[in-house]
Structure 1
Amino acid sequence: MGRAVVVATCALNQWALDFEGNLERIFRSIDIAKSKGARYRLGPELEICGYGCSDHYYESDTLLHSFQVLEKLLQSPATQDIICDVGMPVLHRNVRYNCRVIFLNKKILLIRPKISLANAGNYRELRWFTPWSKARHVEEYFLPRIIQEVTGQETVPFGDAVLATNDTCLGAEICEELWAPNSPHIEMGLDGVEIFTNSSGSHHVLRKAHARVDLVNSATAKNGGIYILANQKGCDGDRLYYDGCAMISMNGETVAQGTQFSLDDVEVLVATLDLEDVRSYRAEISSRNLAASKVSPYPRVKVDFALSCPDDVAVPTCMPIQWRHHSPEEEISLGPACWLWDYLRRSKQAGFLLPLSGGIDSSATACIVYSMCHQVCLAVKNGNADVLADARRIVNDETYIPKDPREFCKRIFTTCYMASENSSQDTCKRAKLLAEQIGSYHINLNIDAAVKAVVGIFSVVTGRTPQFSVCGGSSRESLALQNVQARIRMVLAYLFAQLTLWARGMPGGLLVLGSANVDESLRGYLTKYDCSSADINPIGGISKTDLKNFIQYCLENFQLTALSSIMSAPPTAELEPLVDGQVAQTDEADMGMTYAELSIYGKLRKIAKAGPYSMFCKLINMWKEICTPREVASKVKHFFRMYSVNRHKMTTLTPSYHAENYSPDDNRFDLRPFLYNTSWSWQFRCIDKQVNTL
């Protein structure tokens, strides 16, 4: 009868400009799709060149190599008898578009340019691409000669059209178009399109997955149809981690779910679905049918091919499933761990070095590395040959098989406690115990000699010796002495990262991990070029509150009992002298605000787009039970003073895993000045005026 269609979607760990590797992963996905009987295969956005090429999109080389990869795909017997839908940049009439190239049996059926470009937050697509603005319009695209020689076609359709096969009709969306208020699937569905496809480059943010799933399911809940979503996965060379979650939905319900976090480079979902279920679902929606009778038709590209088989009455079809979401603590355990693994294997380094202070932030970073080791051992146990090959190369042992996370951790992870005369025995013991429990190679060292040498140079040159505040020095002297300690630790971290393995008679070097959380970065509570300066930072986009919950999760799930005392200890930088052998300095006292308050300030500043006055107006209601308006005003002013004084530090912030939408990352996400008038005179005067009226 020709009603059961077999379709495939995938999540691929593509890498920007890795044309060789990207092609290999595309071929693997097509092979898997065909082996499972699929007649249509959808891949992620810009999968041929990798999504994160950024300004490399300006280069003609990127376009050339993308077409060379397309040539290989068209020529290959692997792509025969299956509609392949791949993503790449295309230059049409000297305008660059983000496109889907859909082909079958060495013939290009349609090049479909993206209509709505992502241009907020981490996305800058309008910098490199132009949106296709000609709705339901198709033009001729003249193919490059290398493609003409394969397809025998001089021109192919380019524009906003749909495919009409012998048994159904397919229409494409690209990533952002699903999120747009006027998504193309609405009118395509009214025009009889039964299968919607979406190739995405959607990155992970804590607590975001449900929004994507809800959008996909709602796309077909009102209008009926089959929705297929493909997504990029992994770290493709930047701060973002693309979290897979490929899925297939029908009539508002999920029928196939891919993993969100996985070390598999290629994941393919295949579903068999009954077109008659779509047609009967639509038949009883009278409002939909009335709207459909008035819709303007899409150009249809006729394809002499079917996604179903003639005799398919007995073919079983997929049933709805319940989507299982990860908790935020699981997301922190898995997402940054997968990102670290991609960074480690692709940078061809031999492991990580972490300055481990015994506090929550560095301990959380250590736990993420330990989680990564768990994921590697699990992937190898499940037969992932790619992960095994990468692990063997990293440890420089062709016979090695990672089975025990602690043993693997010992090989690739070095932790270092850098004590000073201001460090307590408690933090030293906590760091050592955690290192023992996760299995890292642990180093204890003392930085006092280096600190005294640096301060001594200053004293020789100036004839003055700075003192801490508790010893009679000024705040300037005390801060400078704290910063010297912090910066010495950064210098030593890089020295040991470069030479620790050499000293142990092992090859390679280590990547230095940072451990400043998103709240401290927002407040600027870090020393420029201290241990917050590293190669990468897996927790730089995660709040202190979430990190505390993650520590509790690790305590319970990894049985890391050392975390219990770390959880209960007050956060401290340990840069000022001890008082009676005990730590007198705490982070929240230094900052003049709590971590809970910082998270609120961050969300209001970035997500709610609140300046000082708007933030004050929102907080007098949020905090009316605990603060007077004058106290709220004082807190808001203090935050904005500290934020603006320290904003310059964001220009040198270590590349961090992006997990939170109030990240202050200055690179491309949070674009603001780094030289402010820190008095905020006009804004604060508005606050004062409002306080006086309350």
Structure 2
Amino acid sequence: MGRKVTLATCSINQWALDFDGNITRILKSIEIAKSKGAKYRLGPELEICGYGCADHFYESDTLLHCFQVLKELLDSPVTQDIICDVGMPVMHHNVRYNCRVIFLNKKILLIRPKMLLANDGNNREFRWFSPLSRPRHVEEYFLPRMIQDVTGQGTVPFGDAVLSTTDTCIGTEICVELWNPRSPHVDMGLDGVEIFTNSSASYHQLRKADHRVNLVKSATIKSGGIYLFANQKGCDGDRLYYDGCAMIAINGDIVGQGTQFSLEDVEVITATLDLEDVRSYRGERCHPYLEYEYKPSYRVKVDFSLSESQDIYFPSHEPIEWQFHTPEEEISLGPACWLWDYLRRSGQAGFLLPLSGGVDSSSTACIVFSMCHLVCEAVRNGNTQVLKDVQQVVNNCTYTPEDPKELCGRLFTTCYMASENSSEDTRNRAKELAAQIGSTHISLNIDMAVKGILGIFYMVTGKKPEFRANGGSSRENLALQNVQARVRMILAYLFAQLSLWAQGRLGGLLVLGSANVDECLTGYFTKYDCSSADINPIGGVSKTDLKSFLQYCVARFQLTALRSVMAAPPTAELEPLMDGQVSQTDESDMGMTYSELSVIGRLRKISKCGPYSMFCKLIHMWKEACSPSQVATKVKHFFQMYSVNRHKMTTVTPAYHAENYSPDDNRFDLRPFLYNTQWSWQFRCIDSQVSKMEAENDPNLQYAHN
């Protein structure tokens, strides 16, 4: 009997309800795994139907089609002589479970339901599934007739069990079970399980990858063992981007690392590892009978060996150092991969972006340019699927992209929409950046459209609104700004639909939004303005991170035009200029800086702070810069802005999820959109605390009190 095993784990770009595409990619991953000598192949969570099916999980069609795909997998010659571990929903006793189905040579070995469900952040698994509530318990599952016809089995084990092959023992975790304080791998390791597998659908978030890697390392450093981590990749049809990072670890060391951002639809990571290394590591660490009352796992015996009888000459994989991306690289790569998936699957011919020459729209333009770099690089590396996709997008079956700038000109249209309130500086910055990235650039003036709309208002009411700078009221000033912003949205969609038609080309363009997460937090944008778009790649990224990202782009892509973009103060340019210069700035309008907003956003969402608890934290965090009364003013101002504008979140453009303080109303940040904006009770508590603190710091008030 041998001692070395070759194992495979995958990152696969599955798409919700794309059963044809999903089975093709699953079979390809198994084929690659077998070609590398693997005897066990692990795939991502719910890979047969796609993780993002949401309320489609309620439909009997989804369950039916999953079993139809499973039947084809069982019957395929590709899946023979290798243990295949695939994910799909299964209904047992009229209850839906998120399951792993593990099979070998046309026989289902085990259906293992998820025992701990993800119900935080963007996850709502309790909406569609139930957790298996009985650990180490196994029941009979009666197979559908279509599966019985292939396997010859009437029932198979269903529950929390492990597989005992002739040479080792394999146990399964599913995604969030690794994150739980009582992860199943702990008890399984004490029970002698040597190989742990985890199928995940873990989405990208800035600065998150190290947490995932550390969990996998920790799972095996405590009690030894081999850990396989598989993950979904790509845009599954929603705001999330699943970033791969498949990995293999042994005894606390990473020995196999998959890419985090890639345009490859199928990536397979394999490693050959020595089981005796696990046994030696555990020799002095694991004494389960001394730990607590011991209850062994239910074992499914499998007459199959993962090792070869003569494997002494097989080299084992050595530990490697994990290579992490910087946050700037993550912004460059994650949203770019997400945009590419969205574009190629949407059937559209490219993107259109209202480019103002500011940090936000310039960042969006740079992400599209990064996408073009990734596409050209993938084609150079022989990725035939990317080549096929780009040829379909540009409607030219002979086209081969070589230069990112040239490809950008085919896929990307930028549009500067000037008004009488626009400065020459912003026009030039937009034009210069467009020239450097190669986008098809349009420059137009919206004054005629704005005057036409205001003319209709004047005809009906006999009133002509004026800007505040010209003696108008705040209501007039805001309305005049909003007209300009909304006209830009209308023109963006008009040009997105017809600009290619005007050139004699086929297809339409997807409109890109460019509101950052901090502006969304306060609602500092016009509802249904040019922030209203089809998708927004930076809607989950903070202004602070975007500025760092632009500095990265100057060095990475030599986009020198970005220097003037970063040097200019952020402005909406919706109010009249003063001596030809911008008089309106974003931070002045919002009443706080972008860095302050980032802190407030994290306290509100991550730390779960209301007005009073936020004030209590900020008086310490900002004590060097602000007095308690100044902190109180900022907190109250934020919550008033937030509550007044919260309704805008119900219509905000679907945005790439990148920050865990995102105010996205879709399913990440579930809060009301109609508030009592006075916050009277909460603000009284703050005022009372400020009065006490001021009294404690004023000797005269202290004396009077005494």
User: TM-score of the superposition, structure 1-length normalised?
Assistant: 0.99
1:213 aligned residue: 213
Shift of 1:567: 0.5
Unpaired stretches in structure 1, ≥5 consecutive residues: none
1:282 aligned residue: 282
- 1-side partners of 2:480 and 2:174: how far apart? 54
Aligned in 2, Cα 1:615/1:674: closer, same or farther, shift over 3 Å? same
- 2-side partners of 1:285 and 1:138: how far apart? 29
Asked whether 1:225 is paired with 2:222, we answer no
Say whether the 8 Å CA contact 1:620–1:628 is kept in structure 2: yes
2:314 aligned residue: 315
Once the two structures are superposed, the pairs formed by residues 481-496 of structure 1 within 5 Å of their partners are 481-496=480-495
Q: Aligned partner of 1:667: which letter?
A: N
- 2-side partners of 1:289 and 1:638: how far apart? 57
Task: Percent identity, please.
Answer: 75
Say whether the 8 Å CA contact 2:356–2:417 is kept in structure 1: yes
Say whether the 8 Å CA contact 2:102–2:109 is kept in structure 1: yes
- 2-side partners of 1:121 and 1:321: how far apart? 31
Say whether the 8 Å CA contact 2:288–2:294 is kept in structure 1: no
2:349 aligned residue: 350
Aligned in 2, Cα 1:301/1:292: closer, same or farther, shift over 3 Å? farther
2:518 aligned residue: 519
Asked whether 1:56 is paired with 2:40, we answer no
Say whether the 8 Å CA contact 2:640–2:678 is kept in structure 1: yes
SS in structure 1 at match of 2:595: helix
Say whether the 8 Å CA contact 1:162–1:170 is kept in structure 2: yes
Once the two structures are superposed, the pairs formed by residues 346-425 of structure 1 within 5 Å of their partners are 346-425=345-424
1:136 aligned residue: 136
1:574 aligned residue: 573
1:452 aligned residue: 451
Q: Deviations over 1:605-632 (max 9, x none)?
A: 0000000000000000001111110110
- 1-side partners of 2:320 and 2:403: how far apart? 34
Q: Deviations over 1:166-209 (max 9, x none)?
A: 00000000001000110000000000000000000000000000
2:498 aligned residue: 499
Aligned in 2, Cα 1:380/1:445: closer, same or farther, shift over 3 Å? same
Q: Deviations over 1:577-596 (max 9, x none)?
A: 00011111000001111000
2:682 aligned residue: 683
Shift of 1:465: 0.2
- 2-side partners of 1:582 and 1:222: how far apart? 63
Shift of 1:291: 4.2
2:172 aligned residue: 172
Shift of 1:261: 0.1
SS in structure 1 at match of 2:668: coil
1:6 aligned residue: 6
Q: Aligned partner of 2:243: which letter?
A: D
Q: Aligned partner of 1:15: which letter?
A: W
Q: Deviations over 1:331-362 (max 9, x none)?
A: 00000000000000000100000000000000
- 2-side partners of 1:328 and 1:396: how far apart? 35
Say whether the 8 Å CA contact 1:354–1:512 is kept in structure 2: yes
Asked whether 1:245 is paired with 2:251, we answer no
Q: Aligned partner of 1:216: which letter?
A: V
Q: Aligned partner of 1:533: which letter?
A: S
- 2-side partners of 1:321 and 1:610: how far apart? 41
Q: Aligned partner of 1:285: which letter?
A: R
Shift of 1:284: 2.0
Q: Aligned partner of 1:199: which letter?
A: S
- 1-side partners of 2:480 and 2:688: how far apart? 40
Say whether the 8 Å CA contact 1:190–1:291 is kept in structure 2: no
- 2-side partners of 1:591 and 1:631: how far apart? 15
Asked whether 1:29 is paired with 2:26, we answer no
Q: Aligned partner of 1:25: which letter?
A: R
- 2-side partners of 1:236 and 1:5: how far apart? 32
Q: Deviations over 1:623-647 (max 9, x none)?
A: 1111110110001000000000000
Shift of 1:295: 2.3
SS in structure 1 at match of 2:683: helix
SS in structure 1 at match of 2:529: coil
Say whether the 8 Å CA contact 2:256–2:320 is kept in structure 1: yes
Q: Aligned partner of 1:72: which letter?
A: E
2:186 aligned residue: 186
Q: Aligned partner of 2:270: which letter?
A: V
Once the two structures are superposed, the pairs formed by residues 43-82 of structure 1 within 5 Å of their partners are 43-82=43-82
- 1-side partners of 2:692 and 2:170: how far apart? 61
SS in structure 1 at match of 2:84: strand
Instruction: Number of aligned residue pairs: give it.
Output: 693
Q: Aligned partner of 2:636: which letter?
A: K
SS in structure 2 at match of 1:535: coil
Q: Deviations over 1:216-274 (max 9, x none)?
A: 00000011000000000000100000000000000001000000000000000010000
SS in structure 2 at match of 1:269: strand
Shift of 1:285: 1.6
Say whether the 8 Å CA contact 1:106–1:151 is kept in structure 2: yes
- 2-side partners of 1:614 and 1:569: how far apart? 35
Say whether the 8 Å CA contact 2:191–2:288 is kept in structure 1: no
1:258 aligned residue: 258
Q: Displaced runs of 4+ in structure 1, greater than 3 A?
A: 288-294
- 1-side partners of 2:441 and 2:179: how far apart? 47
Q: Deviations over 1:29-73 (max 9, x none)?
A: 000000000000000000000000000000000000000000000
SS in structure 2 at match of 1:616: helix
Shift of 1:393: 0.6
RMSD: 0.7
- 2-side partners of 1:11 and 1:384: how far apart? 16
Say whether the 8 Å CA contact 1:13–1:236 is kept in structure 2: yes
- 1-side partners of 2:480 and 2:435: how far apart? 32
- 2-side partners of 1:27 and 1:33: how far apart? 10
Shift of 1:289: 5.0
Q: Aligned partner of 2:337: which letter?
A: C
- 2-side partners of 1:557 and 1:270: how far apart? 32
SS in structure 2 at match of 1:423: coil
Q: Deviations over 1:521-568 (max 9, x none)?
A: 001000000011000000000000000000000011100000000010
- 2-side partners of 1:388 and 1:115: how far apart? 41
Shift of 1:314: 1.1
- 2-side partners of 1:392 and 1:45: how far apart? 31
- 2-side partners of 1:417 and 1:596: how far apart? 28
- 2-side partners of 1:652 and 1:630: how far apart? 35
SS in structure 1 at match of 2:559: coil
